[in-house]
Amino acid sequence: MLLGRTANGLYWMNRYIERAENMARLVDAGLRMALTRTQDASEEWHSVVISAGSDVAFTQKYSEFTATNVADFLLRDTSNPSSVMSSIETARHNARMVRTALTRETWESTNEAWMALKRMLARPIDQRDLPSVLDAVKRETALIRGSLFGTQLRNEIFDFAQLGTYLERADNTARILDVKYYVLLPSISWVGSTLDNYQWESILRSVSAHRSYRWVYEAEYKPTNIADYLIVNARMPRSLTFCYRFILEHLNFLCGDYGTRHASHATAERIHAMLKVGSIKDVFDAGLHEFLGNFITENTRLGDQIAEDYRFY
Amino acid sequence: MAAFDEMLPETTGLRRPYSAYDRWLKEQDPGRLTQKMEDAERVFRKTGITFAVYGEQEASERLIPFDIVPRIISGQEWRRLALGIEQRVQALNAFLDDIYHRQEILRAGRVPKQLIAANEAFLPEMIGVRPPAGVYTHIIGVDIVRISENEFYVLEDNARTPSGVSYMLENRETMMQLFPELFQQIKVRPVENYPALLRQSLAAVKPKGVEGTPTIAVLTPGIYNSAYYEHAFLADQMGVQLVEGQDLRVVDGHVAMRTTEGYKQIDVLYRRVDDAFLDPLTFRPDSALGVPGIMDVYRAGNITIANAPGTGISDDKAIYSYMPEIVEFYTGRKPILGNIPTWRCSEPDSLKYVQEHLSELVIKEVHGSGGYGMLVGPTATKKECEEFAKKLAAKPANYIAQPTLALSTCPIMTEKGLAPRHVDLRPYVLVSDRIQLVPGGLTRVALKEGSLVVNSSQGGGTKDTWVLDD
C-alpha cells in the first residue's frame, strides 16, 4: 500500500533526477559544438537553450547566448526551475518527503548528490572546470540510478519511480529532436555533403548515443537513421519506443498489483502504437515536426492522467 | 560551585562504570580519535540526520553536534531510575484520567482548581472522553538531571510529543560503526528494539472493535518541521506510513489515508502535530496540518491518538511543581525521583523571593519549551536581568523559578583532550497495557564550557548513553 502523495513524490523525484542528467548532457553537447566550431557558437548555445525548454526565461535575463551565460543558467541558476541545481534540490526535496519508501542507499546517494552539487555549483563555474562539473552531474545521477536499481524492491514504489524517469526521458528526447528536426529534413544541400555532419553528431551526443549509433547503423550519419534510432529503435535506452516499452511495463505491473485498469493504460497503449511506424520514412512524409509535437502533447497528457488515476493529489 | 563529574569526580577518582572505558581510552592514539570525530560528522550529514532551526534561513538544516565519549550509567543506577520513572508515568496517566473525569485531586485540594481551569493546555473537549485502553500519554520523555552520586531530579516531564529518540538510536548506531571493538569489550544494554516496542505498544492500544493487526501511521507536520527526520525515521523503522494532514480525511466515521488505490482506514495515529493543529473543526480553524473531524472520530472511539489530546496539562511547568503531591495522591507512595524545588511566581511570597534573588535562579516560562524565553540568573547580564524582571512583574503567573543546580558533568572530546561539560538525560517511556523503558535515553550536553543550557536549539549536543549490563 502506498500513499498517493508518496507515489507523487517518487514520480517527481525521478523526473527531476532524469532532468538534471539530461540538462548536463545537453550542455555537454553544446560545449562540444562550441569547441569544434569556430563560428556560430552563439547559435548553437541558443539551440541548447531551446532544447532545454528555457528560451523565454533565458532571454528575460540575458541578451547574449554565450557559454558562460548558458552554462550558468542551465546548471546553477535556482531561478530557473529546470536548472541542474533546481532539479537536484527538487529531487532531494521529494526524496525527503518519500524517505520511508526509499532504501538507505537510494536516499543517501540522492542526499550526497545534492551535497556534492550544491558545493560544486555554489559559485559561477570557471570555463576550465565546466567539463569536470558536467561529469560530476552525470556521475552523481548515475549513482542514484545505480542505488535505485541495485537495492529497491520491484514493487509499486519502483513502478512510480520508473514512470517518472521514462516520461521525463521521452519528453526530453522528443524535444531535442524537435528543436533540430530541420537539420534532419531532406534537402538538396546534403546530398553527398558532410555539411551537417557536426549537427547530426550533436543530436546524438545530447542523448549519449554518438558511439552506439555506429554499432547499430553504418558508420556514416544519416538523418533517417538518426531519427529511426531515437524514435523507433526499441533497444536504444533513450528512444521514445524504449521509454514507452517500460512505461507500459510498469503500468501493467501496477494493473496486476491493484487489479484495476485505468484510463492511463489506454493512453499509454495508444502512444506506444503511434510509435510503431512501418518505416521512419512514413514519419518524414507525414511531417517530423508534427509527429514530435503530437508526441510531446500526448506524453504530457499521460503524466496528468497517471497523477489522477493514482490519486497523486 | 563545583559540579559532580560522572567519570572523574575530584574527590573520589575514576568512577566504576567508566573503568573499562577509561582503560580502552588510554590505549587510543589521540589522532585516531580526532579522525573518528570527523567520521561521525560525515555519517550524520550523509544520512541527513538534521534538524531545522526556526528563523534561520541560511542554516535551515543543521546537525546536532555529536560527542564520541559515551555517558555511562551502571545497571544498578538504571534500575533505580527506571523504578522512579515508571512510578511517575503511572501517576501522570492517572492524573490525566482524573482531571478529565471526576477531578478528585482538585476536590481533595491537592492541586488548585484555578491551575487547571485557566490553563490553555487543559482541553475542555476531552472532558469525559476515555481514550482506547485508558491510556493518555503513550510516549513520554522524562528529563532527569543529576547533581551528585545519589541525587537525581526530574527537571521536566514531556508528556505531549517528546522528540529526540531517533538521536538515541542513531547515536548508538554511529558509536557501533566507529568503535566496534568497544562493544566487544564492554557489555552495553541494547536500545535498538525501541521502534519494535513502540509499534507493539501502539498496536496494544488499538480502538475497540478493530480485529487483528491495526493500521498504524505517524502524522507529521511535513518536511519543514524541525523534527521531520525523526518522524520519517520512526515510521520507517516501524514499517508504517508517514502521513500528513493533506493525506487524511474522515470517511464513514473513520480516519482514512489517500492511497494510490483509494482511501484506507487508519486505526492508530502516532501524531507529531500539536493539539492546537490537530482538528481545524475543533481547535485552530486555520490549521492545515490536521484532519477536519478527527476529534469526532476520536470521541466515537474509532481511532487511537497517541499521545491523546490534552496531555499537555500534565507536563505544564506550573503543574510540575505539584508532581510530588500528584505522585503520592495516585500511587500512595512517596516519589522515588524528586522534583527540583520550584517557586511558583503566581504566589506572592514566592514572587517576592524570586524578585530578590533573580541573579541566582533559573526562571522559566510556564508554557515555554526548547530553552526559549528563560533566564539563567548567574550567567545573565545585568541588562538581561532587568529586562526579565519587567516581564516577570507584568505577568508573574507566567513564570516559575528554580535554583541553579550544579548539573553533573561528563567529559567530551575536544581538540585539547577530555573536558567536562554539563549534561542531562532523557529516557523514553512507552505506555500501553504495560510500561516499558529502553535502557538508556538521550544525553544532551552543553558544549560551551560552563554552560547549563543543553537544548539543541541553543547549541547543545548529544552523546550515546550506555546502561551497563552489570
Nearest Cα residue to B141 out of B307, B286, B277, B302: B307
Check residue A280 and give its pLDDT: 86
Helix axes A104-120, A84-97, angle to 10 degrees: 150
Amino acid at B267: D
CB contacts of B258 in chain A (<8 Å) are 3-5, 311
All three cell numbers of B293, joined, read: 473531524
- pLDDT above 90: residue A190: no
Contact criterion met (CB below 8 Å) for A61 and A10: no
CA separation for the pair A293, A270 (Å, rounded): 16
For A1, which of B222, B235, B259 is closest by C-beta distance? B259
Q: Could you please report the per-residue DSSP string of B82-130?
A: HHHHHHHHHHHHHHHHHHTTT-HHHHTTSS-HHHHHT-TT--GGGTT--
In sequence order, the β-bridge partners of residue B158 are: B141
pLDDT mean across residues, chain A = 91
- Pick A73 or B380 by higher pLDDT: A73
All three cell numbers of B149, joined, read: 552520586
For B244, which of A5, A115, A160 is closest by C-beta distance? A5
- Pick B271 or A285 by higher pLDDT: B271
pLDDT digits (tens, 9 = 90+) for B14-53: 999 999 999 999 999 988 998 998 998 888 888 877 766 5
Instruction: Report the alpha-carbon angle B201-A7-B169, nearest 5.
Output: 35
pTM: 0.89
- pLDDT above 80: residue B370: no
Using the Cβ of B46 and the Cβ atoms of chain A, whether some distance falls under 8 Å is answered with yes
Half-sphere exposure of A28 (CA within 13 A, CB side): 24
CB contacts of B235 in chain A (<8 Å) are 100
Q: Could you please report the per-residue DSSP string of A92-139?
A: HHHHHHTGGGS-HHHHHHHHHHHHHHHHHTSSPPPGGGHHHHHHHHHH
Using the Cβ of A156 and the Cβ atoms of chain B, whether some distance falls under 8 Å is answered with yes
For B46, which of A2, A112, A254 is closest by C-beta distance? A112
Contact criterion met (CB below 8 Å) for B89 and B137: yes
Nearest-CA distance A91 → chain B (Å): 14
Using the Cβ of A115 and the Cβ atoms of chain B, whether some distance falls under 8 Å is answered with yes
CB contacts of B246 in chain A (<8 Å) are 5
For B48, which of A5, A111, A260 is closest by C-beta distance? A111
Nearest-CA distance B232 → chain A (Å): 6
Q: Do B257 and A3 touch (CB under 8 A)?
A: yes
Residues above pLDDT 90, as percent of chain B: 73
Given pLDDT bands bounded at 50, 70 and 90, which one contains residue B11? confident
Check residue B415 and give its pLDDT: 84
- Pick B455 or B110 by higher pLDDT: B110
Mutate to test the interface with A, among B260, B267, B272 (most CBs of A within 10 A): B260
Question: Which of A58-66's residues contact partners 24+ apart within 8 Å by CB, and which partners?
Answer: A66/A42
pLDDT digits (tens, 9 = 90+) for B149-186: 999 999 999 999 999 999 999 999 999 999 999 999 99
Contact criterion met (CB below 8 Å) for A5 and B244: yes
Given pLDDT bands bounded at 50, 70 and 90, which one contains residue A188? very low
Check residue B56 and give its pLDDT: 46
Nearest Cα residue to A175 out of A61, A55, A14, A94: A55
Using the Cβ of B47 and the Cβ atoms of chain A, whether some distance falls under 8 Å is answered with yes
Nearest Cα residue to B166 out of B89, B227, B243, B241: B227
Residue B224 DSSP code: T
Q: Do B258 and A3 touch (CB under 8 A)?
A: yes
Nearest Cα residue to B281 out of B269, B294, B271, B268: B294
Nearest Cα residue to A90 out of A105, A104, A80, A103: A80
CA separation for the pair B94, B216 (Å, rounded): 25
All three cell numbers of A13, joined, read: 523525484
Q: Which helix (H) or strand (E) holds B204?
A: helix B194-204
Q: Do B48 and A107 touch (CB under 8 A)?
A: yes
- pLDDT above 60: residue B58: no
- pLDDT above 80: residue A187: no
pLDDT mean across residues, chain B = 92
Given pLDDT bands bounded at 50, 70 and 90, which one contains residue B54? low
Tell me how far CA of residue B3 lies from CA of A34, A170, B411, B424, B452, in angstroms: 69, 67, 12, 13, 11
For B260, which of A4, A100, A104 is closest by C-beta distance? A4
**Lowest mean pLDDT segment, chosen from A40-54, A164-178, B196-210, B276-290:** A40-54
Residue B355, number of CB atoms within 10 A of its CB:
15
Q: In the 3-class helix/strand/coil scheme, how is A218-257 assigned residue by residue?
A: CCCCCHHHHHHHHHHCCCCCCCHHHHHHHHHHHHHHHHHH
Tell me how far CA of residue A239 lies from CA of A154, A196, A208, A242, B202, in angstroms: 23, 22, 11, 5, 50
Nearest-CA distance B458 → chain A (Å): 25
Check residue B380 and give its pLDDT: 86
Q: Is B264 exposed, middle or buried (0-12, 13-18, 19+ CB in 10 A)?
A: middle
- pLDDT above 80: residue A86: yes
Tell me how far CA of residue B140 lies from CA of B161, B359, B437, in angstroms: 7, 32, 10
Given pLDDT bands bounded at 50, 70 and 90, which one contains residue B368? low
Count the helices and strands in chain A (H runs, E runs). Answer: 16, 0
Question: Once rounded to an integer, what is the mean pLDDT over residues B54-83?
Answer: 82
Can you give the length of chain B in residues? Answer: 470
ipTM: 0.86
CA separation for the pair B323, B326 (Å, rounded): 5
Nearest-CA distance A137 → chain B (Å): 18
Q: Do B46 and A108 touch (CB under 8 A)?
A: yes
Residues 6+ apart with CB under 8 A from B178: B36, B39, B40, B68
- pLDDT above 70: residue A194: no
Residues above pLDDT 70, as percent of chain B: 97
CA separation for the pair A222, A190 (Å, rounded): 10
Q: Map residue B447 onto helix, strand or coil.
A: coil
Amino acid at A274: M
- pLDDT above 60: residue A193: no
All three cell numbers of B172, joined, read: 548508538
Q: Is A190 exposed, middle or buried (0-12, 13-18, 19+ CB in 10 A)?
A: middle
CA separation for the pair B373, A297 (Å, rounded): 56
Report the residue of chain B nearest A102, measured CA to CA: B236
For B47, which of A108, A258, A311 is closest by C-beta distance? A108
Question: Once rounded to an integer, what is the mean pLDDT over residues A98-116?
Answer: 94
Contact criterion met (CB below 8 Å) for B464 and B470: no
Residue B385, number of CB atoms within 10 A of its CB:
14
For B260, which of A2, A97, A115 is closest by C-beta distance? A2
Check residue B43 and give its pLDDT: 85
Q: Do B259 and A3 touch (CB under 8 A)?
A: yes
Residues 6+ apart with CB under 8 A from A128: none
Using the Cβ of A116 and the Cβ atoms of chain B, whether some distance falls under 8 Å is answered with no
